[in-house]
Amino acid sequence: MKNLEDLMARRTELEKKAEELQTTQAEHAFEINLEDRKMLKTIMEHLNKGYTWKTQNAAVLVTLYDKLKEQNNALLKSDSEETDTIVSLRGHELNGLYQALLNVEGTGVENARKFIKMLTLVGESVTTAMTELAEMNNKIQETHQELSKLDSEIEKLSAAEEISESDVELVTDEAGQ
């Protein structure tokens, strides 16, 4: 049986691990291949004119759009003639893009054609990045589940030790009488 000090030391290790995983995920840049600069402009146009936002996602939408605009401006200023246009997004921005691509209502055949082309070219890259984000989230969740189980063990062991100490005091008091 593990003693309380061992469990507390393990808990400290797990807390540190969870914090490191969360920091890594928050700072991680997911690279999305957009094929070319025109596709970046198409996505920006979709976010600006073709996406219906709600109160819950307005801030994420603005952050995502501003990030794409910033990267578009940087690409325009660069002398790079690379054929692929790659943008870097953090987890919440990536999720915002994913939601913006999934939750769409539109009108007109040409708008539908433009959207399908955009989704076809960008979808695989976004899906791959979302899978990576999900794996990171799973590791964080597993660590928190382990912490929760450990907390239960610590609580049970602490309660058992308190009972043992009160029994010792009771026996000592009875022996003294």
- Tens digits of residue pLDDT in 102-119: 888 888 898 889 889 889
**In angstroms, rounded to a whole number, what is the distance separating the alpha carbons of residues 91 and 29?**
7
Q: Dig out the tokens for 110 from the structure.
A: 């040409």
pTM of the full predicted structure?
Answer: 0.78
**In angstroms, rounded to a whole number, what is the distance separating the alpha carbons of residues 88 and 109?**
31
Q: What phi and psi, each to the nearest 5 degrees, are found at residue 31?
A: -95, 125
**In angstroms, rounded to a whole number, what is the distance separating the alpha carbons of residues 95 and 110?**
26
To the nearest whole number, what is the mean pLDDT of the chain? 87
Domain range summary for the chain, segments of one domain joined by +: 30-132
What pLDDT does residue 52 have?
87
- Contact at 8 Å (CB) between 121 and 39? yes
- What residues contact residue 152 under an 8 Å CB cut-off, 6+ apart? none
| Cβ neighbourhood burial of 155 (10 Å; 0-12, 13-18, 19+) | exposed
Reduce the DSSP state of residue 86 to 3 states and report it: strand
